[in-house]
Amino acid sequence: MKNIAVLVSGGGTNLQALIDAEKRGEIKNGKINCVISSNPDAYALKRAQNNSIHTEVIRRKDYARFDDYDKALTELLQSRNADLVVLAGFMTILGSRVISTFKNKIINIHPSLIPSFCGEGFYGLRVHEAALAKGVKVTGATAHFVNEVCDGGPIIIQKAVEIKNGDTPQVLQKRVMEQAEWNILPKAVSLFCDDKIIIKNNITEIID
């Protein structure tokens, strides 16, 4: 059974999707054993507590140097024996120590079809604003591993979502979450926990 640490900053609907999938028996070989928030007021913490999941708060601003923060987060994850780290709306940049310690063991959910609308500055509503500004007719979400390149790690699963006339960034964000993010993030986590993802040259292969 793999220990899953979920890192959050906000509402935690992706965390909720993971909790619900685990409850439905869809993550057979993994268990969320800790939720770590960058924000003490995140509603995601309440979702964890409602489900008796251990919680921690770690704030970048409590550390003078970024290196100290990076070390503290790495040690916190190690102290929880994390086998997998899931970024579910985590708004603080990860440092090189945590990324190298958990190489190919950190999964992020991004609200676009990478490589479109991703990289530095593309987070939250900005991603959907950019998709609408470009006029693309299809967007979606991507579950991918995290490496040192922002949104550049191996892609695990993608799901497309239609853009409709009159969409606002908020409306599109909601559709992408409902139709894609909440669906593919638990699937990617389940595949990881079942050891079904092989990575070669930055490309994943899913074993049937």
Catalytic residues, which ones? 110
SS3 157: strand
Burial track 29-38 (b if 16+ CB lie within 10 A, e otherwise): ebebbbbbbb
Residue 26 or 194: which CB sits closer to ligand GRF? 26
Put the strands of the sheet holding 106-110 in their side by side order.
55-57, 30-37, 2-8, 84-87, 106-110, 138-145, 155-162
Task: State yes or no: residue 181 binds ligand GRF (CB under 6 A).
Answer: yes
Altogether, the residues listed in the chain come to a count of: 208
- Report 100-159 residues binding ligand GRF (CB under 6 A): 109-111
Task: State yes or no: residue 45 binds ligand GRF (CB under 6 A).
Answer: no
The phi, psi pair for 29, rounded to 5°, reads -110, 25
Closest CA to 191 of 9, 24, 15, 26: 26
Crossing angle between the packed helical segments 169-176 and 125-134, to the nearest 10 degrees? 110
Q: Which region, judged by CB under 6 A, interacts with ligand GRF, from 7-15, 20-28, 31-39, 49-57?
A: 7-15
Residue 208 Cβ vs ligand GRF, minimum distance, rounded to whole Å: 27
Residue 125 Cβ vs ligand GRF, minimum distance, rounded to whole Å: 9
Residue 16 Cβ vs ligand GRF, minimum distance, rounded to whole Å: 8
- Binding pattern for the stretch 63-102 against ligand GRF, x by CB under 6 A and - elsewhere: -------------------------xx-------------
Q: Are 173 and 111 in contact (CB under 8 A)?
A: yes
Of 2, 6, 10, 102, the one binding ligand GRF by CB under 6 A: 10
Residue 30 Cβ vs ligand GRF, minimum distance, rounded to whole Å: 18
**Can you give the binding site for ligand GRF, defined by CB under 6 A?**
8, 10-14, 44, 88-89, 109-111, 177, 181
